[in-house]
Amino acid sequence: MSNKKLAIIATKGTLDWAYPPFILASTAAALGYDVQIFFTFYGLQLLRKSLDHLKVSSLGNPGMPMPMAMDKWFPVLAQALPGMQSMMTMMMKQKMRSKGVASLEDLRNLCAEADVKMIGCQMTVDLFGFQPSDFIPGIEMGGAATFFEFAGESDICLFM
């Protein structure tokens, strides 16, 4: 019996949205799935050597729970002030650490150890002018057809 297959397209480059692809990929691998993640557009940020630059923003994100009920009294426009995004990111990271949520680096390493195949979208790599040296080793580059080669035979296919 061949393994089940999970194909993921990761398109977002924020701290919060970096989690779903790595959590699901690593868990699926632990359950015996073959997994591929195709990183395109802003998702390419998740393949950068360091993930420290990833941020979370409350702007345009009314569902984000805010500390001290800030969403009730703090004007949305003020969230656009310089430094707000860094502050939100710092608070989010602190909360994650205090709740025992894994770091993104750890999850990504676990994915790599579990043979999750990570593919960078060549077109968007060229579009944004990334260099191969910007990314972690062990990834491949490919296009839409490369993705479908695996996704076409997958049992689960997710766009994130």
Partner 1 sequence: MANIDKELDARGLNCPLPILRTKKALNDLTGGQTLRVVATDPGAIKDFQAFAKQTGNELVESGEANGEFTFVLRKKA
Q: Which residues bind partner 1 (CB under 8 A)?
A: 23, 26-27, 30-32, 99-102, 106-107, 110
Nearest to partner 1 of 106, 126 (CB atom): 106
Quick check: helix, strand or coil at residue 160? coil
**CB of 44 closer than 8 Å to CB of 12:** no
Given the complex with partner 1, which of 47 and 107 has the nearer CB atom?
A: 107
Taking the complex as a whole, how short is the minimal distance between the CB of residue 99 and partner 1, in angstroms?
6
Residue 42: CB minimum distance to partner 1, A: 23
Three-class secondary structure of residue 31 per DSSP: coil
Least distance (Å) between residue 113 CB and partner 1: 8
Q: How far is the CB of 35 from partner 1 (least distance, A)?
A: 13
Evaluate whether 116 touches 138 at the Cβ level (below 8 Å): no
Cα–Cα distances in Å, from 106 out to 23, 77, 109, 131?
10, 35, 5, 23
Closest Cα to residue 160, out of 40, 5, 49, 76?
40
Nearer to partner 1 by C-beta: 15 or 44?
A: 15
Cβ atoms of 73 and 31 closer than 8 Å: no
Cβ proximity to partner 1: between 7 and 107 the closer is 107
Which residue, 1 or 77, has its beta carbon nearer to partner 1? Answer: 1
Give the nearest distance from C-beta 4 to partner 1 in angstroms.
Answer: 9
Nearest-angstrom CA–CA distance, 11 and 21: 10
